[in-house]
Copies of this chain bind each other. A is one copy, B any other.
Amino acid sequence: MKRFALKGQICYSSDLGEIKVMEQGYLLCKDGVSAGVCQELPESWREVEVRDYGNRIIIPGFTDLHMHAPQYSFRGMEMNLELLEWLNTQTFPEEARYADLDYAERAYTIFAEDMKRGATTRACIFATLHLPATKLLMEKLERTGLKTMVGKVNMDRNSPDILREQDANRSAEDTVIWLEENGDCYQNVKPILSPRFIPSCTDELMTRLKQIQAEYHLPVQSHLSENRSEINWVQELCPESEFYGDAYDRFGLFGGEDCPTIMAHCVHSAAAEQNRMKERGVWIAHCPESNMNLSSGIAPVRDFLNKGIRVGLGSDIAGGSSASIFQAMTDAIQVSKLRWRLVDERLKPLTFEEAFYLATKGGGSFFGKVGSFEPGYELDAVVLDDTELKCPNSLTVIQRLERICYLSDERQVVAKYVAGKEVFSLN
């Protein structure tokens, strides 16, 4: 039974609208799990190691609910395109390069090192369709100490020969091989079923993936209602579907108790689709920077929250250029203000407190009890040093936290813990 405590300016969410602050508080960790936050060490904890971070701020680690590791290599480039053109001219050719394991080695080394250094402690990640490169990515992520879910991508139609599986059968067989070889061998990395999106997957493939999902009890990640052309295309490809999300649901790959599912984007999800997501308990990965870069639009996050749909944040590397969930938070707030002003004044903008919740507890819930310091939560913690952000005033802890989210990046992260294990510490 391993116990220790972190001391500092502790901030975390319990509810959507509030950030709890304990100044000079103790965050108790027992076997990787929070035993709560308190102002004084309890009697029975007097002997444990206390790591005193002084005036630094300690927050739960962030969850990135949606990113594409192979796209990290071209983040921040060629951003003058919309989704479908961008996929064809930038993304697919780049992902095809991961057939070359030497290239994958170079690229995923950079990705894993940067992931280790940032404020993210959990992430759901698309790899490519290639088995060796996906295995390599999993090995590299395993060593970072972050807890991640990684998906070998399935795609057997509507992409160029260089990045398409031969047929449904081959895609399904490869998936089984991948799961047999990688499903259970990592402590930190778990597999997640990753049909790219409806346009990339034949009905036969979706049927086979459902069988695999059920047999291996896998979670699922995919894309939904990101772009109008994409939505129209899905309607052509699946004329019998009521809406885009229904095209997943018809194959049993759209949430439900035995099939935890993340759908990225949901920019254009109308009421029926939202209601289905609520019914099925689907998590939405809100990716505001990507939705700007690819001119997709602004997801109605307030609507999702009002309906009680599960929402977290995603960087969507490389639709998004930045892997920083700090930036995803402020982007989410900013675009919600624009949506309020320009689209629908009934849907109030997100507050800072709400964005913080989405970045931590909202997305973290896909991993179980993750994203808060309430007792029983796995202890993912990030220690932030904002002394470089000079200020002539004395600030409250909440002011400092808000400022950090607007102005910070990995420079301010001086220590990181995942499930109670120190991933790194600069001191």
Give the chain B neighbours of A395 by CB distance below 8 A. 77
**How far in angstroms is the closest Cβ of chain B from A337?**
4
Q: Is A338 within 8 A of B335, CB to CB?
A: yes
Rounded to whole angstroms, the CA-CA distance of A75 and B73 in the bound complex is 32
**How far in angstroms is the closest Cβ of chain B from A103?**
6
- B-facing residues in A69-98 (Cβ within 8 Å): 73-80
Q: Is B340 within 8 A of A342, CB to CB?
A: no
Please tell me which one of the listed residues B76, B106, B330, B339 contacts residue A402 in the complex, with CB atoms under 8 A apart. Answer: B76
A136 within 8 A of B: no
A306 within 8 A of B: no
- B-facing residues in A319-340 (Cβ within 8 Å): 321-322, 330, 333-335, 337-340
A343 within 8 A of B: yes
A44 within 8 A of B: no
Rounded to whole angstroms, the CA-CA distance of A114 and B392 in the bound complex is 13
Q: Which of A19-27, A59-67, A292-300 makes up part of the contact surface?
A: A292-300
Beyond A391-B110, A392-B103, is A76–B293 a contact (Cβ under 8 Å)?
A: no
Rounded to whole angstroms, the CA-CA distance of A149 and B220 in the bound complex is 56
Q: Is B392 within 8 A of A73, CB to CB?
A: yes
**How far in angstroms is the closest Cβ of chain B from A148?**
20
Please tell me which one of the listed residues B73, B296, B407, B411 contacts residue A391 in the complex, with CB atoms under 8 A apart. Answer: B73
A254 within 8 A of B: no
Give the chain B neighbours of A349 by CB distance below 8 A. 80, 295
Q: Is A333 within 8 A of B392, CB to CB?
A: no
Q: Is A405 within 8 A of B337, CB to CB?
A: no
Q: Is A80 within 8 A of B403, CB to CB?
A: no
Beyond A110-B390, A406-B321, is A77–B399 a contact (Cβ under 8 Å)?
A: yes
Q: Is B334 within 8 A of A289, CB to CB?
A: yes
A393 within 8 A of B: yes
Rounded to whole angstroms, the CA-CA distance of A352 and B76 in the bound complex is 11
Mask for A402-427, Cβ within 8 A of B = 1, else 0?
A: 11111101010000000000000000
Rounded to whole angstroms, the CA-CA distance of A77 and B399 in the bound complex is 6
A351 within 8 A of B: yes
The residue in chain B whose Cβ has the minimal distance to the Cβ of A73 is B392
A107 within 8 A of B: yes
Q: Is B296 within 8 A of A341, CB to CB?
A: yes
Mask for A329-369, Cβ within 8 A of B = 1, else 0?
A: 01001110111111100000101100000000000000000
Q: Is A393 within 8 A of B73, CB to CB?
A: yes
**How far in angstroms is the closest Cβ of chain B from A86?**
12
**How far in angstroms is the closest Cβ of chain B from A90?**
11
The residue in chain B whose Cβ has the minimal distance to the Cβ of A294 is B337
Give the chain B neighbours of A107 by CB distance below 8 A. 392
Q: Is A75 within 8 A of B407, CB to CB?
A: yes
The residue in chain B whose Cβ has the minimal distance to the Cβ of A267 is B341
Give the chain B neighbours of A75 by CB distance below 8 A. 403, 406-407
Q: Nearest 9 A-B pairs (CB), nearest first?
A: A76-B406, A292-B334, A106-B392, A76-B403, A321-B406, A107-B392, A295-B337, A110-B390, A77-B399
